[in-house]
Amino acid sequence: MKRMRLAIVAVLLCLTAVLAFVHLTTRDKVPEGSLLIQYDGRESYVPMDALDIVEISGTVVSAKGDAQEIHQPGVRVEDVLKKAGIDSRVIQSATAVADDEFSAELLAEEIVAPDVAYLAREADGSMKLIVFGDSNLKRNVRNVVRLVVR
């Protein structure tokens, strides 16, 4: 009985290791300090240093209803897409994807609206999606590495 349990545990550990290896080798490798923009079957990298950094200021509300003031540098999502050569008039939506594949979708109206959708620069250099107007920070995506545009 003990040998059977040990064999099952060993098989599960090996399977986990193989699946982790496959997952890590198939993920998009995005150069540090850049965002991968995917649109219409094309991919391009936008270096964050090439964008006009602005001061993001506003209030977001957590799921508990607590108001949180935001004051940090960042860029408008629309400006990132423009730098990638994407005309905002053809955008239907954009999905911000984190390095762990967590994602959130932005509608075209939110992207082009002034003072709504930003990518904020964190202290460690990573980017975080901030969407003003969300009632519970449900689209608070940290470590954004990719924007998938439709």
Domains located in the chain, CATH noted: 33-149 (3.90.420.10)
Amino acid found at 28: D
132: Cα within 13 Å, side-chain hemisphere: 17
In the predicted model, what is the mean pLDDT of residues 82-91? 94
What does the alpha-carbon distance between residue 105 and residue 139 come to, in Å, rounded to a whole number?
8
Q: Say whether pLDDT at 29 is over 80.
A: no
Per-residue model confidence (pLDDT) at position 138: 86
In the predicted model, what is the mean pLDDT of residues 8-12? 90
Counting Cβ atoms within 10 Å, is residue 72 exposed (0-12), middle (13-18) or buried (19+)? Answer: middle
Amino acid found at 22: V
Of 129, 127, 145, the closest CA to residue 27 belongs to 145
Q: Say whether pLDDT at 20 is over 90.
A: no
CB 9 within 8 A of CB 15: no
- Least reliable range by pLDDT among 50-64, 77-91, 101-115: 50-64
Tokens of 76: 């408008």
In the predicted model, what is the mean pLDDT of residues 99-123? 95
Give the three-class secondary structure for 132.
coil
Q: Say whether pLDDT at 10 is over 80.
A: yes
Q: How much is the mean pLDDT over the chain?
A: 91
Residues whose CB is less than 8 angstroms from the CB of residue 69 and which lie 6 or more positions away in sequence, other chains included: 57, 58, 59
Q: What are the φ/ψ torsions at residue 114 (nearest 5 degrees)?
A: -70, 140
Of 121, 115, 111, the closest CA to residue 143 belongs to 121
Share of the chain above pLDDT 70, in %: 95
